[in-house]
Structure 1
Amino acid sequence: MPISGFPEWLPPQRMIEQYALDKIRSTFELYGFAPLETRAVEPLETLLSKGETSKEVYLLRRLQEEDPSARSDDQLGLHFDLTVPFARFVTENHGKLQFPFRRYQIQKVWRGERPQEGRYREFLQADIDVVNRDTLPFHFDTEMPLVIGDAFRSLPIPRAVIQVNNRKVCEGFYRGLGLSDTAQVLRTVDKLDKIGPEKVAAALVETAGATDAQAQACLKLAEISASDGSFVDRVRALGVDDPLLDEGLSELLQVVETAGEHAPGLVRAELKIARGLDYYTGTVYETQLVGYERFGSVCSGGRYETLASVGNTRFPGVGISIGVSRMFGILFGQNALSVSRSVPTCVVVAVPSDDRRGDCERIAMALRRRGIPTEVAPTAAKFGKQIQFADRRGIPYVWFPGAPSSGAAASDTVKDIRSGEQVEADAATWEPPAADLKPVVSAS
């Protein structure tokens, strides 16, 4: 019986996901990110200190726990993202790490959200982060979109657009307007796509102490969007001054211009982006797939200055996370991806008779040793049925062992069951075309 919010892919979908993970992992490593895996649980106190997540954390407890309702210092919860456990890992291991430390992490996370298409309670994320001791040069913020852009371009998915903002722009603007509770304003504006401008304006008046004019100014800032540096003049035209605003505009301009040079069309400044987690302090990213904007972001992250610290030493970082399950759940739901066969197998070795299964296994082993995915037919049925067995799963080749004859064995043959072509073959030397060796993932 399915459980809402806990997806299980069919084998063809899982092959597509694994293909994508291989491409993503390869891209991360091309940029010098090292692999890391952290534990699935963190102290509840740590999880609750990182933003509005208290309703989303899954607790971990034993079935026979004496008082499951009791709160204690050692209570554990499943992590809701990979950034918080990464920050904890850095503080515990900083003496063993070389800084700046670049890592990628591909793991499951858990959130007690309301399940919907592309949004799950258990899902896979693929993160990259860079952290440094004391200060982190800003050029790492400009690098993040380039890594993700390369990863997405390696996949048969719709074009991605990374929307970028800087919290310093927003906070400086709100401060320049005279709004003191900038964190509340950020949280409220972040709901713009969900509840619309009228309700956001009303919420700003009610929860952040804004006047109607201040609320409208916040909405005007959130309307600004540009794929080049023109957003700076549009912000200036709103007539608000603040040093933090100036700093944020300068940083955001660097991200947009760097991306424009290396990957035109990849990045767009989108001044309504805020991100809901409290630990972000500067650059923030959200990514949409063209044609799938209604589903929201499939890749997000940002800069954090104070998430990790030991004594007086801070470890600022910047990171971005691909919502792997989210992205592929959306694409699977729209039948946007396909795979050329439902199993990894390239060759089925036909079994002429049960007493020759040993010969067939030896042929299969010879092919496997050379990296050719091979299985032996399950029964010594008529060859027509063995060919059907391969065809139903999209396996392109059937191998027929040569019949023993007086003095020497007849040659083996291999048949491309798509074209019907059948040729003599030797398991020690035969190679399938490169395109047939592994299943091919493509856009539907």
Structure 2
Amino acid sequence: MSRIAPLSGFPEWLPAERVVEQQVLDTVRRVFELHGFASIETRAVEPLEQMLRKGEIDKEVYVLRRLHAESDEADAGLGLHFDLTVPFARYVLQNAGHLEFPFRRYQIQKVWRGERPQEGRFREFTQADIDVIGRDTLAFHHEVEVALVMAEVFRALPCPPAVILVNNRKLAEGFFLGAGATDAAAALRAIDKLDKIGPEKVAALLESDAGLTAEGAQKCLALAGIRSADVSFVAQVRALGVEHELLTEGLDELAAVIAAASARMPGAVVADLKIARGLDYYTGTVYETQLVGYESFGSVCSGGRYDSLASDGRTTYPGVGISLGVSRLLSVLIGRGLVTASRSVPTAVLVAVSDDDARGTSEDVAAALRARGISTEVAPSAAKFGKQIRHADRRGIPFVWFVSDDGTHSVKDIRSGDQVDADPTSWTPPAEDLVPVVALAQNEESTS
């Protein structure tokens, strides 16, 4: 067989890495459900006309097409979804009569984007979203809630501390307009590139694309430099001397988010006025999230308020959501050695086989252990016990079970060498050995 060429941008984790991914997903799911979010799953494809209206994403959408498709086939206008918010909005419109509003959902699925693969950026990846969506109106407090739920997720995960950075699109757009921009959306897109291309190039874009003067562009850059864990950012913005009705509305909303979040979970949510988000459907609060000590890696979690993404012409369904880039987070946790898994398999016990005729007895032991929730394998062959122990060691299985000729049982901890008598109907491994454990690496714990 010829050598298989790697295909970049489509992550495939090794077993130990998959253990990390599974624990992350289990933790995310548990926290979401503790807060009353219901699970849904949507189809992988959406109409292109819907997806391409949502911002600077048209070059990244994968189109769905059969190899020998005719140009007029029905699926010619379909593409793989690039996020989970657009499909969710469509789902709400189609199922509104069966949903109770405000509707709280979480969704954990694959998404696809035709990006240039690099660390943390994939062409196929997993996202975990929560959204609250209302009918005609949605209470403002949900914009605080979704941020705090995600902050709780990060605190429950084996990862460095995370800070959720928050801005408000009304604040940003109002400031840009008050500073003289002729195209606030272009100014938003320029500021969104600040970390990638630097202030000089952003200033040039603000002048050429957004119609700002050099002085106005500098005020916009000064706005983007404001960051605060309390409401002191309001005075800093006012000191820049820009006035606009939309700016005032956005300042009031962002101040309310920061004040409420600080009261509940101090330090978890911080105002950062350079956060823009490139998708056009956001209308209010927007979020991005950085891992402390790994800020250069960029955001691992983002989202925001959207007021008109879902509408049937008669009823509008405003919502707010936040999305964890699971694959992106894993790429930094695994790629930089920040976490370790205690073993790469779920198996806690390997039942040894003394000879082929005794395999049935070993299978009975395994069945008894499994009946009590203990993951168990039976040795693949009746090799010498030393070889069976080495097989368990290579797989990371901590315990080996033996059945003696006289029918007595014993279990050996192959890490310490301790061996004790045991009964398959009552013996249980220590809690820390029952399932694989994922934890921060020791060097990361010392710096957290």
Q: State the TM-score bracket (shorter-chain normalisation).
A: over 0.9
Q: Offset of 1:74 from its aligned partner?
A: 5.2
2:40 pairs, out of 24, 36, 47, with 36
Describe how 1:21-100 pairs up with structure 2 within 5 A.
21-67=25-71, 75-100=77-102
Residue 348 of structure 1 deviates from its aligned partner by 0.3
Q: After superposition, what is the alpha-carbon deviation per residue over 1:74-126, rounded to whole angstroms, capped at 9, x for unaligned?
A: 51100000000000000011011000000000000000001100100000000
| Aligned residue in 2 for 1:237 | 239
- CA distance in 2 between partners of 1:71 and 1:295 (Å): 42
The question of whether the paired residues in 1 share the 8 Å contact of 2:120 and 2:332 is answered with yes
Contact 1:45-1:73 within 8 A present in 2 as well: no
Instruction: Tell me the distance in 1 between the aligned counterparts of 2:280 and 2:379.
Output: 57
Alpha carbon RMSD of aligned pairs, Å?
1.2
- Identify unmatched segments of 5+ residues in structure 2: 442-448
In the alignment, structure 1 residue 321 sits paired with structure 2 residue 318: no
Does the aligned pair in 2 maintain the 1:159–1:290 contact within 8 Å? yes
Residue 13 of structure 2 is aligned to residue 16 of structure 1: no
Residue correspondence of structure 1 range 305-320 to structure 2 within 5 A: 305-320=307-322
Q: Percent identity?
A: 65
Contact 2:180–2:211, Cα closer than 8 Å, also in 1: no
2:184 and 2:259 map into 1 onto residues whose CA distance is 27
* Correspondence 1:193-204 to 2 at 5 A: 193-204=195-206
**Map of 1:375-414 to 2, 5 A cutoff?**
375-404=377-406, 409=407, 411-414=408-411
Give the alignment partner of residue 269 of structure 2, picking from 257, 262, 267: 267
CA-CA distance at 1:73 after TM superposition = 8.3
Matches within 5 A, 1:181-200: 181-200=183-202
The list of structure 1 runs, each at least 4 consecutive aligned residues, that deviate by more than 4 angstroms after superposition, is 70-74
Which digits, 9 at most, give the CA deviation of each residue in 1:209-264, with x for residues without a partner? 11111111111111111111110000011111222111111111121112211211
Structure 2: how far apart are the matches of 1:72 and 1:377? 53
- Name which of 106, 109, 132 aligns with 2:108: 106
Aligned length: 437
Matches for 1:119-134 after TM superposition, within 5 Å? 119-134=121-136
Partner deviation per Cα, 1:177-204 (whole Å, 9 max, x = no partner): 2323111111111111111111011111
Distance in 2, Cα, partners of 1:116 & 1:165: 27
Q: Which residue of 1 aligns with 2:254?
A: 252
Superposed CA offset, 1:251-292 (max 9, x none): 111211122112111111000000000000000000010111
Which one of 274, 288, 291 corresponds to residue 290 of structure 2?
288
The alpha carbon displacement at 1:71 in A equals 9.5
Structure 1 residues 72 and 51, CA gap change in structure 2 (3 angstroms): farther
Q: TM-score, normalised by structure 2?
A: 0.96
1:311 to partner: Cα distance: 2.0
Partner SS for 1:297: coil
* Distance across 2 between alignment mates of 1:201 and 1:239: 19
Structure 1: which 5+ residue stretches go unaligned?
A: none
Q: Which moved more, 1:135-144 or 1:393-402?
A: 393-402
1:156 maps to which residue? 158
Are the structure 2 counterparts of residues 365 and 71 from structure 1 closer, same or farther at C-alpha, using a change threshold of 3 Å?
A: closer
Query: Could you tell me which residue of structure 2 aligns to residue 116 of structure 1?
Result: 118
Q: Kindly provide the CA deviation profile for residues 360-403 of structure 1, in whole angstroms up to 9, marking residues without a partner as x.
A: 01110110010000000111111111111111122111000131
1:422, 1:356 → 2: CA distance? 21
Q: Tell me how far apart the structure 2 counterparts of residues 164 and 72 of structure 1 sit (CA, whole Å).
A: 41
Change (3 A) 1:400 1:49: same
Moved more, 172-181 or 380-389: 172-181
- Could you tell me which residue of structure 1 aligns to residue 146 of structure 2? 144
